[in-house]
Structure 1
Amino acid sequence: MASPNSSARVVQICRVAPSLPAASSDSPSPDLSLPLTFFDICWLRFAPVQPLYFYEISSSSSNVSTFSFDSILEKLKTSLSLTLQHFLPLAGNLTWPQDSIKPILTYVQGDTLSLTIAESNADFDRFSSNYDLLVPQEYHPLVPQLENSHERAAVMALQITLFPNRGFSIGAAIHHAVLDGLTSISFFKSWAHLCKHQGLNSSSLPDHLKPFYDRTVVQDQAGLGTLFSNQYQDIDGPNNRSLKFWEFHAPLEIRGTFKLTRASIQKLRGHVLSTVSSDANLHLTTFSLACAYMWVCLVKAEETNEDETQLILVADCRSRLDPPIPATYFGNCITPCLAVAERKGMLGGEGVVVALTAITEGMNRLGKGALNGAENWVSGMSRGRSGRVLTMAGSPRFGVYETDFGFGRPNNVDLVSIDRTGAVYISDAKIGGGGVDVALVLKKHCMDAFASLFAEGLKGN
């Protein structure tokens, strides 16, 4: 929630209940209890993920005959209630009963989701431009806090912030132990779909947006869920069943977003192909090339003295498990993928090839078994690794700019929580066309160097 002295004034805090239909085969029952899987428990005490969407609305907009924030809010609230009937756990709570080995996600009829309505006098055009540099704290008043204690944690909180005569933003705080990026974007796309098509079979979702709740499809023959639960209890323990979020405070000063157009990606791909042998079999996807280029620019900008540099990519496991599970599975189903490269190789003229080779090797290890080394996930995350470890968040495949509530594409989509984690956020490009946007938060002198290196390497595009 925004403080009284921030650039956003809280107008109202309300509770939104799911609009529960008659029982149906494609909806969970009114009362719902889901045990966390080992994929979920990994993220048990990580701080909330905070996506932020900006939408421009004006009195001259072709899709709004009368500019009325009251009518916009009513549409958003009504469609949110309809959406929650499909996503009941988002109105529920996470607890860790004394008689349960693992934490449990529960929804009981009557549970509600917190929705904050705020108003801001900040510069909407600057916030929604996407490519301006910002002080990280400028975004903070636009996202809510997530209720959280040692005994109980809310799953999601939302905030709609109105910018008079300009537009609005939708900010969220999302418990990472309940849903990953794919499930999160599925919720927002479902909400957008029901808002846009309100009045036309308004409670129905297309099949590709209907969440799949059967937890039995995630097999845990190695007992990882119990292992991870015990490891968390031993942190600051013994028998510490705390659900309190860990606090991260990265000493970062400037937030910036940089674009890689489709032409830029093609140029990087051509450079790699002209440098390596035909049998190198490197991953030449848009995502891998964007990560490699960004990684090289960042290593050069930060000027550390470490011999080794590390990048963690997060890979979706739904199609990698044996047997595969549905793409609409609700929850976490992701695995870390570590790429390691020598820093001196990254600084040379073929730095992108070195980075891409390291990424390919990491992905190939993942291909040999999505859960290889999984027993070390929690212990590794709680201890941390020596040296600078760069983490990627998001994916251009999520299609965040396809989230249209009936007011057009968002002007900007960002991830506020990278202010704390220091991760790099990658998404499909605001301008479309097959490119990507890359957002990161750095100290000012590093950001200046990164921006210069990023632009210099793309000259001619």
Structure 2
Amino acid sequence: MSPTVRTRRATTVALATDALLPAPGRRVLLSPFDVYWAALPPVRRVFLFAPPSPPVDIADIARELRSSLAALLPAFHPFAGELVYDPESSRLAIVCDEGAGVAFVEAETELDFARLVEDGAEHDVDALQQLVPDIRREELPAPVMAVQVTEFVGGTGGMAVGVALHHTAADGRGLWRFLEMWATAAAAGIRGLPVTEETSLQLHDRSLAHFDGDVELAGLFLRQTVPELPRTVPKEGPPAGVRTHLSRRTFTLRASAVRRLKQQLCSEGGTVKAPSTFAAVVAHGWVSIAGASGFFTDGGPVFATFLADIRAHMSPPVPESYIGNCLALCTVSLSGTELAGADGLSRACVAIREAVAEVRRDPLRDRSRWFTKFADIPRGRAVIIAGSPWFPTNAVDFGFGMPARAELASMNHDGEMVLVAGREVGSVQASVALAADKMPAFHELFLTHGTSNLELVFSPSTSRA
């Protein structure tokens, strides 16, 4: 068992009373895009930082993280609230009343920092999860966000900043916008620059993502995902034998590897237009996971699911700075034998591009089937893609350098791949969770399948600046 993390101090970063909006603004009624995520565990991101040079006292770092968070909260006030359920209206909302704030934990640990950022190492999932506060609740109300800063004592030292955020409050674009702004404010304080309070409110008004039938759709999603509200988890646990021992590793595709992958896809597909980085990397991951799962000789369907940001494709368009969820579920499938063929990578890429194009044409076309489309996929036959190669993980510099490693501690599905931008411009970091017996085959396929040399390397820490 991994060494434990010990709490030194637990406080609350309060949302300033004078920053609260008038009473109606303290209650954010959630859209169907938000309530779709009501039953999922919170998003738990952890950033690992090598000891800063010159050294900075951990107490000073914690103080600046707290003060910069306090300055930013007025712009992100729903993050300081609680997720609640109103049985009279059958609606979910985030409520920011007097006393609203974000739990802030300061901790220490003897966990081996060097091991956690080691190139190619198997993830210590238990350790990563200890570095992020746990805001899960079996029954509402539940906190929306919490933060933890942990000092690694002994060994090489180091520090972790962990953030937990309930997915109903924001999608990936909204979370990364918050993280970038918080890091910028904290860095200013640590470097002795003035930290100004963020006064321009970010866009949390769910009416910006309104469409005909949205209230009815929100009700449908609640009935499908959390039928026992205010309980948010089933009373019965998963059936015996369902839990699978997962292996987790992080890979980085260098910018040159991404370029060659796109060139290969252009050549195979007979098109001059290169696919997007997202389509190319997801296709490569889909084929590699299918092969590692033994589906190459299988005529049954292998599914790939991912989310598409539809802000720009709604009518009217939703502002780019909108913080709430505005995502459509995309599900595509090909047979294992199709994915195994000489043109399997190209077929996968075409299927992904067509799904994205369809969403752009009509983002809400099959919205009532999003939940059932995913729920009906046979167990073990889905490749689940989260994140984006444009999420700027390494832009999260709180004032003591880029992270040596950044991970999603909450990924826990066999066949899941989470994408973020790598440290090198144009590179992509892919964190992968698979049943342990599949990982060696995936490793080989992901590095070599269909290419002479993708120039892949393990973990983002291989190219530290």
**Pair in the same fold by TM > 0.5:** yes
Written as runs of structure 1 = structure 2, the 5 A alignment for 1:181-330 is 181-198=172-189, 200-205=193-198, 211-221=202-212, 223-233=213-223, 237=227, 240-245=228-233, 251-278=244-271, 284-304=275-295, 305=298, 307-330=300-323
Query: Quick check: 1:136–1:253 contact (8 Å CA) kept in 2?
Result: no
Deviation at 1:172, TM superposition (A): 2.1
Q: Within the alignment, does 1:166 sit opposite 2:157 as a pair?
A: yes
Change in 2 beyond 3 A, CA 1:235/1:50: closer
Greater shift, 156-165 or 128-137, is seen at: 128-137
The one-letter code matched in structure 2 to 1:296 is V
Q: Which residue of 2 aligns with 1:425?
A: 418
Deviation at 1:94, TM superposition (A): 1.1
The one-letter code matched in structure 2 to 1:309 is V
Q: Which residue of 2 aligns with 1:45?
A: 39
**Residue number among 383, 387, 390 corresponding to 1:390 in the alignment:** 383
Deviation at 1:114, TM superposition (A): 1.4
Query: Quick check: 2:36–2:218 contact (8 Å CA) kept in 1?
Result: yes
Q: Which residue of 1 aligns with 2:458?
A: none
Q: Within the alignment, does 1:114 sit opposite 2:106 as a pair?
A: no
Q: Which residue of 1 aligns with 2:50?
A: 56
Q: Return the TM-score normalized by structure 1.
A: 0.88
Greater shift, 365-374 or 134-143, is seen at: 134-143
Q: Return the TM-score normalized by structure 2.
A: 0.87
Q: Which residue of 2 aligns with 1:177?
A: 168
Distance across 2 between alignment mates of 1:336 and 1:111:
32
Deviation at 1:147, TM superposition (A): 4.6
Q: Within the alignment, does 1:335 sit opposite 2:324 as a pair?
A: no
The one-letter code matched in structure 2 to 1:319 is A
The one-letter code matched in structure 2 to 1:161 is T
The 4+ residue runs of structure 1 with deviation greater than 3 A are: 27-31, 204-207, 233-237, 245-250, 378-381, 457-461
Segments of structure 2 that go 5 or more residues without pairing to the other structure are 456-465
Deviation at 1:378, TM superposition (A): 3.4
Q: Within the alignment, does 1:79 sit opposite 2:71 as a pair?
A: no
Instruction: Note the alpha carbon deviations across 1:302-326, whole angstroms, 9 max, x for none.
Output: 1044511111111111111111111
Deviation at 1:380, TM superposition (A): 4.0
Q: Which residue of 2 aligns with 1:97?
A: 86
Distance across 1 between alignment mates of 2:243 and 2:47:
23
Paired residue secondary structure (1:328): coil
The one-letter code matched in structure 2 to 1:10 is T
Deviation at 1:29, TM superposition (A): 5.0
Query: Quick check: 1:54–1:169 contact (8 Å CA) kept in 2?
Result: yes
Paired residue secondary structure (1:392): strand
Instruction: Note the alpha carbon deviations across 1:308-366, whole angstroms, 9 max, x for none.
Output: 11111111111111111111112111111112112101112222111111112211221
Q: Within the alignment, does 1:151 sit opposite 2:151 as a pair?
A: no
Change in 2 beyond 3 A, CA 1:147/1:267: closer
Q: Which residue of 1 aligns with 2:435?
A: 443
Q: Within the alignment, does 1:402 sit opposite 2:395 as a pair?
A: yes
Alignment RMSD (CA, Å): 2.5
Greater shift, 258-267 or 412-421, is seen at: 412-421
The one-letter code matched in structure 1 to 2:181 is S
Query: Quick check: 1:18–1:83 contact (8 Å CA) kept in 2?
Result: no
Distance across 2 between alignment mates of 1:312 and 1:234:
19
Distance across 2 between alignment mates of 1:421 and 1:343:
17
Distance across 2 between alignment mates of 1:266 and 1:341:
25
Deviation at 1:116, TM superposition (A): 1.9
Change in 2 beyond 3 A, CA 1:169/1:422: farther
Kindly tell me the number of residue pairs found equivalent between the two proteins: 440
Paired residue secondary structure (2:117): helix
Deviation at 1:367, TM superposition (A): 2.1
The one-letter code matched in structure 1 to 2:384 is T
Q: Percent identity?
A: 25
Distance across 2 between alignment mates of 1:441 and 1:278:
33
Distance across 2 between alignment mates of 1:158 and 1:343:
42
Distance across 2 between alignment mates of 1:410 and 1:107:
32
The one-letter code matched in structure 2 to 1:242 is P
The one-letter code matched in structure 2 to 1:143 is V
Paired residue secondary structure (1:251): coil
The one-letter code matched in structure 1 to 2:206 is R
Distance across 2 between alignment mates of 1:138 and 1:372:
42
Change in 2 beyond 3 A, CA 1:421/1:214: farther
Deviation at 1:250, TM superposition (A): 5.0
Distance across 1 between alignment mates of 2:225 and 2:400:
46
The one-letter code matched in structure 2 to 1:181 is G
Greater shift, 105-114 or 245-254, is seen at: 245-254
Deviation at 1:205, TM superposition (A): 4.5
Deviation at 1:421, TM superposition (A): 6.9
Paired residue secondary structure (2:162): strand
Change in 2 beyond 3 A, CA 1:7/1:228: same
Change in 2 beyond 3 A, CA 1:135/1:343: same
Instruction: Note the alpha carbon deviations across 1:14-46, whole angstroms, 9 max, x for none.
Output: 2221245x56xxx85586111001111111111
Deviation at 1:379, TM superposition (A): 4.0
Q: Which residue of 1 aligns with 2:9?
A: 12
